[in-house]
Chain A
Amino acid sequence: EPEVTQTPSHQVTQMGQEVILRCVPISNHLYFYWYRQILGQKVEFLVSFYNNEISEKSEIFDDQFSVERPDGSNFTLKIRSTKLEDSAMYFCASRLSYLNTEAFFGQGTRLTVV
């Protein structure tokens, strides 16, 4: 069964450093998302991406965040200058089409900012 895959599974970075989290969505899916989950809290929407552009973003997704689909298969989340409060599990998700509402989640990248 096709899966959304994310790399790395765990990333430790120093405060102020840039990180790039990588995702490979399911190949024929058209809608892509990043969510984050701070330990013990709910999953929060960050950004949605469709047709090579951001379609919606949350208040969390400030100028420090950016997304890119550089090569038609990868979907990346970049955090330019990490803060301690960026420590969380980051989930990528993808969805087939407008009519297919099920979102498939990757296994997550645990980001630890020290």
Chain B
Amino acid sequence: GENVEQHPSTLSVQEGDSAVIKCTYSDSASNYFPWYKQELGKRPQLIIDIRSNVGEKKDQRIAVTLNKTAKHFSLHITETQPEDSAVYFCAACSTDSWGKLQFGAGTQVVVTP
């Protein structure tokens, strides 16, 4: 089955700097890669996603890149703000497998003013 590895487990950045989180996946059948932000005690919320037919996607300060050959994808947050502090999870999914999401272990991002 699918195995998703995520690094780093914690990331401290100064406000205004960029943050990068990296994930790798194992199942070449995976074709959908969402990123979720989870604030303490709250539900995971989708912040951006990318499908396997696209190499990069951007939404304001957030971007995701996908390298299908190497089976890795990354989340980039630019101009970080204190409200970006949260746990970020990457996930991988094959839309042919009933949409089951396999999550990475999460990255605790702390943005210090």
Closest to A95 in B: B99
Interface string of B70-109 (1 = CB under 8 A from A): 0000000000000000000101010101111111111000
Cβ-based interface call for A66 (8 A): no
Residues on A with beta carbons closer than 8 Å to the beta carbon of B46:
102-104
Would you give the shortest CB distance from A62 to chain B, in whole angstroms?
A: 17
Would you give the shortest CB distance from B45 to chain A, in whole angstroms?
A: 7
B102 touching A102 by the CB < 8 A rule? no
Would you give the shortest CB distance from B103 to chain A, in whole angstroms?
A: 4
A101 touching B99 by the CB < 8 A rule? yes
Q: Which of B36, B43, B98, B104 interacts with A48 by CB under 8 Å?
A: B98
Closest to B91 in A: A43
Residues on A with beta carbons closer than 8 Å to the beta carbon of B95:
98, 101
Interface string of A49-61 (1 = CB under 8 A from B): 0100001100000
Closest to B90 in A: A42
Cβ-based interface call for B61 (8 A): no
B106 touching A42 by the CB < 8 A rule? yes
Q: State A46–B85 Cα separation when bound (angstroms).
A: 28
Which of A13-21, A67-75, A105-113 is near enough to bind chain B? A105-113
Interface string of B14-49 (1 = CB under 8 A from A): 000000000000000000101010000011111001
B binding-site residues for A, Cβ under 8 Å = 32, 34, 36, 42-46, 49, 51, 89, 91, 93, 95, 97-106
A binding-site residues for B, Cβ under 8 Å = 31, 33, 35, 41-45, 48, 50, 55-56, 91, 95, 98, 101-108
Q: What would 10 more interface pairs be, CB under 8 Å, given A48-B98, A108-B43?
A: A33-B100, A43-B36, A43-B44, A44-B103, A50-B98, A56-B97, A101-B51, A101-B93, A101-B95, A105-B36
